Amino acid sequence: MKAEFTSHISVYFIAVVVLIFTFTLPAPQPVGADVGSYFFPQVLLITILVLNTLSVVRVIYNKVAFSKQVDSFKITKKNIIRVSLLVGLLGAYIILMPIIGYEITTGLFLILMMLMFGIRDYKILILIPIGVVGILYIVFDTLLSIPLP
Amino acid sequence: METLISIFDFQLLFMVFAGVFVGIVFGAIPGLSATMAIALFIPITFVMSPVVGISFLLGIYCGGMYGGAIPAILIGTPGTPGAAATLLDGYPMGRTGQGGRALKYATVGSFIGGIFSSIILIFLAPQIASFGLRFGAPEYFALGVFGLSIVASISGENVLKGLIVAAFGIVIATVGMDPVLGSPRFSFGEANLMSGISFIPALIGLFAISQVLVDSEQQNETLANNEIHYRKQRVPLKEMFSKWIEFLRSSVIGTVIGIIPGSGAGISTFLAYNESRRFSKTPEKYGKGHAEGVIATETSNNATTGGALVPLLTLGIPGDSVTAVIFGGLLIHGLTPGPDLFVENIDTVNQMFGTLIIANIFMLILGMFFIKYLVKVASVPKSILIPIIVVFCFVGSFSITNNIFDVWIALIFGVLGYVMVKFKYPLPPLILGMILGPIIEANFRRMMIQADEGILIVFSRPISLVFIVITILTLLYPLVSSIVKNRKRKLNN
């Protein structure tokens, strides 16, 4: 239930903030019967606020009517930490790619991520990154002429 | 005749085969999907010709829909949502040592269903497309709004959350240039946002990276354990032919359901299973390892592929979440789905129809003769597969415009998708909103400028009025049925 209300409050917050932006950002004058640049997003954001309110009412009704329903969101501290670490690793990968070089960064990233997922066999930790980077280079750069980052 | 000859080009055939192979592998690994595979491989098709690129994606589509049957039958876990119904009889067959037979039925059923729906697509699509050529701004606006009503079908239990997500998707699509005035909107002075949020990286993030984040929550032991065992078995041809009614009935059901936007394999497979049991002389055998149960589900599963392509290609309305992703693939090759596609690119469309048939043939060949090797590939532990998938996600996102900003878009949408999954907000409506938003807004504003009566013109033209009425009914039905269901549950409690 807490997770459900957290999500609805977040939706309210995002919709209101973006709606305020639509009234403050500069926009050209509409031509003729045109409604203007921000009319459409404003209508949508107000619709989101209305739908969100209906959803909150539905949640409260279900809580009152079916109070024995189990909260099945499965959001645990352990999961949040693990996923946050992974997102941090992905962010670092993107930042370091143009600095260290794509091939080295990708190799290091693959090793770290496999270690994070419990792979301890050193043969896999060495061969997979070499194989993947090699295949990417041959397939993308050489065969398909798609430049790597 | 020239079109027919051109589809037997070696490069084209090779890419269709590769697509089917990739699709089967992705469909066979629980947690991956045809949707993810298509999103991941769209950037690779960028350097190919439109026909070759789209054919590759269609191969993935066909293979992916079939691949989900492999783990459903052999380990009791559906590889794709469409294979959930295959579990009912497929897994009991697998448990009693009949897994090989079940897979043979699944393969033949998928082939027959796929071919049937492809033939229907070939004959029906041009008729619907020529009807669509009569559309003006009011009809396109109403069609876009009707397309949003699909949200009601693909949102699962919570239609309100689906509509919220779709609306956010449309708002995201407004980032970039105003379609009428040509001025920047929501770009905040950032040059990379002037042309809007890149669709393909957003797609990759939402369907591939978010799934990676969800999978990463599993224990390391679970990620390492992905082994599937398979034993080859034969099914006599006479026995296979004796089930022809089952194949035909399920093909029809799958194709018809596939044509209805928003329905998809999740609905068609259970409907086909129910009908099969209803018409059976031995309904008590269903659920205990009955071959007809597997035939019904897998035939209808792949029969939705051709059906779902009908609204996508003819009207530009994705039939399900997979075709929503294929929409992106078509755009990247300069092919805008809709009635004009059949006027400006009729040769390409005809070639696509031909390659769809070929993809089903390759799927039959792979399923009948190489399933042992496919099972081995699908048994690669996720702890090795997931990091490789992430690398491909980032390469794919970068390759669209050679801009590292798109890789950040993929990551941001990946995190967004993960948060949405955790808080039970459906993902497909976001993509649907991003696809339909520009259609709805541009035609709405064009309508307001051109027509004296403004938005009321939608109600005065018959085609647009029909779309609006169907939209209202489609949106109201799940809400009303949900209220009735809750009332019944309350009474039972």
- Complex ipTM value: 0.91
Q: Is the pLDDT of residue A147 over 90?
A: no
A31 and B181: CB-CB below 8 Å? Answer: yes
Report residue A86 CA to chain centroid gap. Answer: 12
In this complex, which of A6, A18, A90 lies closest to B411 when CB atoms are compared? Answer: A90
pLDDT at B252: 94
Is A140's CB within 8 Å of B441's CB? no
Token pair recorded at residue A49:
């606020």
pLDDT at A109: 94
| CB-based contacts of B284, cutoff 8 Å, min separation 6 | none
Contacts of B181 in chain A (CB under 8 A): 28, 30-31, 34, 36-37
In angstroms, rounded to a whole number, what is the distance separating the alpha carbons of residues B424 and B427? Answer: 9
Task: Calculate ∠ Cα B197-B201-B207, nearest 5°.
Answer: 115
Chain B residue closest in CA terms to A52: B164
End-to-end alpha-carbon separation of chain B, Å? Answer: 65
Nearest-angstrom CA–CA distance, B213 and B312: 30
Q: Which residues of B touch A75 (CB under 8 A)?
A: 422
Q: Do A83 and B220 touch (CB under 8 A)?
A: no
CA separation (Å) from A77 to A71, A81, B78, B110? 16, 6, 29, 43
Q: B461: alpha, beta or left, given left = phi > 0 and alpha = psi -120 to 50?
A: beta
At B223, the amino acid letter reads L
Q: How far is B43 from chain A (nearest CA, A)?
A: 9
A-chain residues near B217 (CB < 8 A): 79, 82-83
DSSP state of B217: T
Probe site for chain A from B214, B395, B487 (most A CB atoms < 10 A): B395
Distance CA B239, CA B105 (A): 10
- The position carrying tokens 């491989």 is B41
Cβ–Cβ below 8 Å for A3 and B486: no
- Prediction pTM value: 0.82
Of A30-44, A69-83, A108-122, B6-20, where does mean pLDDT reach its minimum? A69-83
CA dihedral B414, B204, B34, B145 (to 10 degrees): 90
Nearest residue, CB atoms, B164 vs list A52, A113, A114: A52
The pairing of beta strand B176-177 with beta strand B184-185: antiparallel
User: Which of B384, B423, B486 is nearest residue A114 as measured by Cβ atoms?
Assistant: B384
CB contact under 8 A, B449 and A86: no
How distant is the Cα of A65 from the closest Cα of chain B, in angstroms?
7
Report how far residue B50's alpha carbon sits from residue B141's, in angstroms, rounded to the nearest whole number: 28
**Tokens 């930490």 sit on residue:** A81
Given an 8 Å threshold on Cβ–Cβ distance, is A66 in contact with B493? yes
The low-confidence residues of chain B, meaning pLDDT below 70, are 1-5, 151-157, 219-229, 262-263, 378, 478, 493
CB contact under 8 A, A48 and B168: yes
Does residue A68 surpass a pLDDT of 50?
A: no
Q: Which of B151, B157, B181, B222 to mutate against chain A (most A CBs within 10 Å)? A: B181
- What is the helix (H) or strand (E) element at residue B184, kind and residue range? strand B184-185
Distance from CA of B361 to the nearest CA of A (A): 26
What residues of A are in contact with residue B383 (Cβ under 8 Å)? Answer: 114, 117-119
Task: Give the pLDDT score at B48.
Answer: 87
pLDDT for the residue numbered B201: 87
As a residue count, chain A comes to: 149
Spacing of C-alpha B166 from chain mean position: 17
Q: Is A104 on the interface with B (CB under 8 A)?
A: no
Q: What is the maximum span of chain B, computed from C-alpha positions, in angstroms?
A: 70
Q: How confident is the model at residue A72 (pLDDT cuts 50, 70, 90)?
A: low
Query: Which of B210, B388, B484, B490 has the highest number of chain A CBs within 10 A, making it the mutation to test binding with A?
Result: B388
Handedness of CA B81, B84, B90, B91 (dihedral sign): positive
Q: What angle do CA B298, B229, B244 make, to 5 degrees?
A: 25
Paired strand residues for B184: B177
Which chain B residues are Cβ-neighbours of A68 within 8 angstroms?
493
- Indicate the pLDDT class of residue A17, thresholds 50, 70 and 90: very high
- Show Cβ contacts of residue A87 under 8 Å, excluding neighbours closer than 6 positions: B213, B411, B415
Identify the burial level of A108 via C-beta atoms within 10 angstroms of its C-beta, where 0-12 means exposed, 13-18 middle and 19 or more buried. middle
Indicate the SS3 state at residue B236: coil
**A85: CB partners within 8 A, 6+ apart:** A116
Residue A106, CA atoms < 13 Å, CB-side half-sphere: 23
B183 and A27 in contact by Cβ < 8 A?
yes
User: What's the pLDDT score for residue A93?
Assistant: 95
Asked whether residue A70 carries a pLDDT value surpassing 50, the answer given is no
Question: What letter would DSSP give residue B282?
Answer: -
> Which of A40, A86, A93 is facing B174, going by the closest CB pair?
A40
pLDDT exceeds cutoff 70 at A67: no
Question: Which of left, alpha, beta for B252 (phi over 0: left; psi -120 to 50: alpha)?
Answer: alpha
| Residue A137 DSSP one-character state | I
Instruction: Tell me, yes or no, if A57 comes closer than 8 A to chain B by beta carbon.
Output: no
